[in-house]
Amino acid sequence: MPEIRFQIQWPDGSQEACYCPSLVVKNYFTPNSDYALDDFVERSRTALEIASDRVQAKYGRPCGLALEQLQEIENKSAKYSHLSQPKVRFIQFIE
């Protein structure tokens, strides 16, 4: 399966490279775009769960790396939920 990484910037300015085992993530994000924190988390959840399901269909088990990435995104986003209108910048796909 084609995998991809993508670079984001959290509301505090820190950047992170994230992993997805499928190009499906390209259907949910646009480079150089800002997303409300909740929207970013929901889009990430949808894309990473679809990607994990694709891995399960092909290999018989869900993708642990995709589910781990989702958990990291959900955990880190909780640090910013107290901010007024926090945004996550989707910087780029890393291919």
Using one digit for the tens of pLDDT, what is the confidence trace for 48-80?
Answer: 999 999 999 999 999 999 999 999 999 999 999
In angstroms, the CA 44 to CA 25 distance is 8
DSSP state of 25: G
Residue 95 pLDDT: 85
C-alpha to C-alpha distance for 22 and 53, rounded to whole angstroms: 10
Within 8 A by CB and 6+ apart from 31, the residues are: 90, 91, 92, 93
- What average pLDDT does range 75-87 have in this prediction? 96
| pTM confidence score | 0.94
Query: Mean pLDDT across the stretch 80-86?
Result: 95
User: How many domains is the chain partitioned into structurally?
Assistant: 1
Q: Look at the block and give the residue holding tokens 């480079």.
A: 31
Containing structural domain, residue 16: 4-94
Is the per-residue pLDDT at 1 higher than 90? no
- Residue 40 confidence class, pLDDT cut points 50, 70, 90: very high
